[in-house]
Amino acid sequence: MSAGGVLLLLWWLSCCGSAVWRRSGQVPAGAPHQRPRALAAPVVAAAGFLATTTPSSSLGHPPLQTTVSAPSSPNTSTGVPMLPFPEFPKDEGREGITPTAQTSAFLISEVLSTKTELRCSSPGYHHIKPIVTGPVEEESRYLSVDNSQICFLWYYRIKHFFHNLTQVIFIWVYDPENADHDELLWKANEPSGNSIILTKQFTALGQKPAIYTILRRKQYFPRQPLKNGVWKISIPMRKDDILKNIVGKKVAFQDCFVADFVFLLTFPVMTIPEIPGYLPLSTPSGSQLIVDWDACVPSAGVVVAEMETFQTNDSFLTWTKIRVPPGILNDDERHHVTDMCLSEGRIFFIINGILYLKDFLKFTRLGRNENLPDDGIIGITSRRWCWVNYLFKSQGKRSSMAVWTENEVYLGSPYQPSDTRQQEPYNLFRFNKIITTTELKNLLRLSSTASLTIHTVDYTAHPLELALLLSYCVACTSSKKIYLVIYNEDTKQWMYQDFALDVPIDSILVSHFLYSAMPELLLSDKHRIYYSYHNFTVSGILQAPVENGNLSRLSQNSSIHDVFLDYFGNIVIKMENNIMFYSKVNIEDVIQLHSWTNKAIQSFFGLDISGQLYFVYVFENGTLQPQKYPLQLEAQSVIFQTNENCPYIAFHTSLTRMFYFLDKREVLSFWVQVTYPESSGLYIISESYGPKIVKEKRKFTFEIILGYCTKTMYVTFSQAVNYEAVDDYFKLQFSKKGCPWHNFSYVIEKSYLRHRPSKNLKVKYDWESYGCPLRLDFRKKFKPSIQLFDDNGYIEDVTVNFLVWEIHGRDDYSFNTTMLKSGCLNEAQTWKSMTELNKHLPLEKAWGPENYKHCFSYAIGKPGDLNQPYEIINKSNYNHIIWPLGHSGMYVFSVKILDPNYSFCNLTAIFAIETFGLITRPNGYLVASFLFLLMLLFFSILVLSYLHYTKIYRQYIYEPLSPEGKQKKM
Among the listed residues 41, 211, 218, 259, the one whose alpha carbon sits nearest the alpha carbon of residue 132: 41
Distance, CA of 35 to CA of 89 (rounded, Å): 11
Q: Report pLDDT digits (tens) over 337-354.
A: 999 999 888 999 999 999
The per-residue pLDDT of the chain, averaged, comes to 80
Q: Is the pLDDT of residue 519 over 80?
A: yes
Identify the pLDDT of residue 93: 31
Identify the pLDDT of residue 943: 84
Identify the pLDDT of residue 85: 39
Identify the pLDDT of residue 22: 27
Distance, CA of 347 to CA of 356 (rounded, Å): 8
Distance, CA of 182 to CA of 190 (rounded, Å): 10
Q: Is the pLDDT of residue 858 over 60?
A: yes
CB 241 within 8 A of CB 171: no
DSSP 260-293: PEEEE--SPPPPPPP-TT-EE--PPTTPPPEEEE
Identify the pLDDT of residue 664: 66
Q: Is the pLDDT of residue 964 over 80?
A: no
Q: Is the pLDDT of residue 114 over 60?
A: no
Mean pLDDT, rounded, for 453-475: 92
Identify the pLDDT of residue 871: 92
Report which secondary-structure segment, H or E, holds 586: none
Non-local (6+) Cβ contacts of 875 within 8 A are: 785, 786, 797, 798, 799
DSSP 868-893: SBP--B-SSS---EE--SS--EEEEE
Distance, CA of 580 to CA of 228 (rounded, Å): 45
Q: Is the pLDDT of residue 735 over 70?
A: no
Q: Among 129-133, 476-480, 486-490, 694-698, name the one with the lowest average pLDDT.
A: 129-133
Identify the pLDDT of residue 946: 80
Distance, CA of 534 to CA of 519 (rounded, Å): 7
Identify the pLDDT of residue 918: 63
Identify the pLDDT of residue 425: 45
What is the pLDDT confidence band of residue 390, given thresholds at 50, 70 and 90? low
| Higher-pLDDT residue of 738, 776 | 776
Identify the pLDDT of residue 738: 52
CB 896 within 8 A of CB 803: yes
Q: Report pLDDT digits (tens) over 173-192.
A: 999 888 888 898 888 999 99
Q: What is the DSSP letter of 17?
A: S
Mean pLDDT, rounded, for 514-540: 91
| pTM exceeding 0.75 | no
Q: Among 334-348, 565-579, 739-753, name the one with the lowest average pLDDT.
A: 739-753
Distance, CA of 409 to CA of 812 (rounded, Å): 44
Report which secondary-structure segment, H or E, holds 440: helix 437-444
Q: Considering the chain, what percentage of its residues have pLDDT values greater than 90?
A: 39
| Higher-pLDDT residue of 451, 661 | 451
What is the pLDDT confidence band of residue 55, given thresholds at 50, 70 and 90? very low
Among the listed residues 545, 583, 542, 541, the one whose alpha carbon sits nearest the alpha carbon of residue 564: 583
Non-local (6+) Cβ contacts of 223 within 8 A are: 232, 233, 234
Identify the pLDDT of residue 195: 94
Among the listed residues 858, 860, 799, 875, the one whose alpha carbon sits nearest the alpha carbon of residue 829: 860
Mean pLDDT, rounded, for 397-412: 92
Neighbouring C-beta atoms of residue 335, cutoff 10 Å: 19
Identify the pLDDT of residue 13: 27
Among the listed residues 457, 453, 458, the one whose alpha carbon sits nearest the alpha carbon of residue 441: 453
Identify the pLDDT of residue 74: 33
Identify the pLDDT of residue 32: 30
Report which secondary-structure segment, H or E, holds 481: strand 479-488
Q: How many residues does the chain have?
A: 970
Q: Pairing between strand 219-220 and 257-258?
A: unpaired
What is the pLDDT confidence band of residue 5, given thresholds at 50, 70 and 90? very low
Per-range mean pLDDT, top range of 121-130, 239-248, 901-910: 239-248
| Higher-pLDDT residue of 690, 596 | 596
Q: What is the DSSP letter of 785?
A: -
What is the pLDDT confidence band of residue 765, given thresholds at 50, 70 and 90? confident
Q: Among 92-106, 836-850, 869-883, name the one with the lowest average pLDDT.
A: 92-106
Q: Is the pLDDT of residue 210 over 90?
A: yes
